[in-house]
Structure 1
Amino acid sequence: METPFKVCVIGGSNSLMKSGYIPPFKAQLSRALKRDVEINNISMGGTFSHYGLWQLITKGSHKDADVIVIEYALNDSELSSFGMIGHWAQAYEGVIAKLRAEAPSAKIISPLFINRHSAMRSKFSAMAAGFAFINGRYDVETIDVNNELLSRAPEEYWTIDEWYKDGSHYTKYIQVMIADFLVEAVKAGKGHMKRDRVFAVTENHFGGAKSAVKEGIFDGLFPPEFERTNFTNSLVSQDAIKIPTGGTLEFNLKGSLVGMILVSTDGDGIVRCTVGNHSVLTSCRRKAFDTRKFDFLMNIFVLDQYFRKTVTVSEDWMPISLRVLTPEQIVATAGERVATRPTARPAEADQKELSFCIADIVYNGEIEPIN
């Protein structure tokens, strides 16, 4: 009996939702290949390439894939507005380099999605150019989705706005067309590695990054009294350590901090992040919790994004601390800017809970607890 054709999918919400391109892609590909298709989907909405890198480090779902679909251009574009192109390139190239090293025979295809706001205006995107350049260096097949859509219909057949159901997601019929683009690429054999060696785009990319959980040092970074909690829904089951109100996580870093994997809840508080001599107030409380539809959401916390510059890199040991403010401290810092992602808002002093749940820390180099 013929084994299923295996596809690993890594990306954001367009790659995960039921009305996205993956269900029609699976159906179309199975018909085209005349065999079963097995989809291993490790995508997660609202996350960056950094989260995908963590998935590769900890899950290993890509290693036996025939085809890997990686879709991060739309979500990662957020980092561009925070001046994070360099840090992003290290993360994204790290993902691609790791895929090529650990799944050398897999074909890798990257659909390039653009949010509605960017699509409605003609403007050069350094981020989109970076995706195309890094993909090209590693022989990853790039599908410029919006350009393909525009080229497949007569002029003035439709407006760009018709392609989107909201600011970040394509409509259902466009998702079916995206599936068709992917099937065409798979059938044509696109995305296979053509060379034995690759000249790295960023010499210090994060392809060798480590997980504190996998290295066995994660629990030891936290005070033993901090609560260990499991979060489970239909998509994930994830353990995390909760920093309580007034609690502090402190550790030393030598190297680079790639990011922290969070389990966000409606109790996410305001966190004072201190890296060496730099300090900023942050809040990761997602606006989506205001709808009361979610108990928790997986999230990625890239500290440099909140500082709007690279601060989490050091050749010597550098202290990093995260302290969850008490209600009194939130009131006392009312005049100070609280940095958030566009999908988040500052926590409020009268919230039922103020905490911060960390599932893992991804880093290059070494980390150790501060005793």
Structure 2
Amino acid sequence: MKTNRHSLMAKGIMVLLSLLILIFIITFAWFTPPEERNDAHGVSMKTKAGSDFEYAIGFKTSQTFGEYLVTDFTNSEDSEWDIEDLHVPGKMKDDQITPVSYNLLYDYQPIDITGDGYTLIRPAMDYGNWKINTGSFDYSIAEANTQYISFDLILRSKAATTLSLGPNSYAIGASEVEGTTAKPDGSKLTGADVERKSDYGNFSRDAIVGAVRVAFLGFDDTLTAESYSTGTQDDKLNHTPSLLWVPRPDLYLNNNGNDLSTSGWSLNTGVTSGTTFNLQSQAMNDAAYSTYRHQYYNVFEMTNPNDTVEVATDNSDYVHVSAKDTEGNEYHLNDSVELISLDKPMTVQENNEDVTYYYGKVRVRIWVEGTDSESRRALSKGKFKFSFDLTTNG
């Protein structure tokens, strides 16, 4: 994984994620839960033996020379994947003996960006990257798998169905995991003895999880199952995400009105819906700042630039914010959100027999939102994990 020396984007002294390690554990209703939460980088997936559901990952990086590749479909109990160790059928080396291993994070240079899930940008910055240059309409489109993580999750089943992100989905700071126990409640993110303690106060850098966003985008309905299942790069994405998820609204990094000092900072945990903060920083002031909304810098709608960062609050139906559950007081999605339909039929040959599968594909984008209060240097080198609870119904 590469690192860079750009600061993060939107408020006062911004975050430099020189060592952001993304660790994902993906579980499905029909999948076997992970036996343990390890610290291997990337996405690992494991299915139940005999499942009718199969999945593959579509991706491209400079390591693939810009070629879009698709891994094998699998539902094998013994098959487990990591996005830093992906294998593609037909890609071999050493005289057809050793499969080529691909790393989705090969080009990854963590930096904060901003957007609505469909359009992700890096705005023009003032000197020193202190804040967005609101006097400029310049921006660059964020680069997939360089400035944010992007991959296609391709699924197929033997019956038409729908795929949803289920209520047990959550995001967690790495320090909130102890052995096989994960507790996304913020209790392990504060204190003098926390893991990866920040230089700015008694809190963990892993609170960067509060600034993370995830978007799931479907594809144009005119695409075929053949395009889903072969090495075809499709960028006919729906402009509206199926889901834009704010997974950790319970966290608020408070600079206590002083961006220019490394002291006096604190981390609020257990923030409840309806709570607002008086955010005061070098780049943005918001007397009613809420962690329970997604906001982003929308340069496309700005007509009167001024010295104050202008952000758009996205109140669309596709924006979902995690909430505290009633049992463990932990923050989960606590909802079931439909992502895509597996409804594209295609017949394939398996064991000399025709088998019809129904295909679906969704693009997953994961980024650090630069207008979030946790997007600060105080949380550089933070680590976090995801657990995606993906379910189907007929």
Q: Which has the higher contact order (CA 8 A, sep 6+)?
A: 2
Pick the structure with more helix per residue: 1
Pick the structure with more strand per residue: 2
Give the alignment's TM-score, normalised by structure 1: 0.25
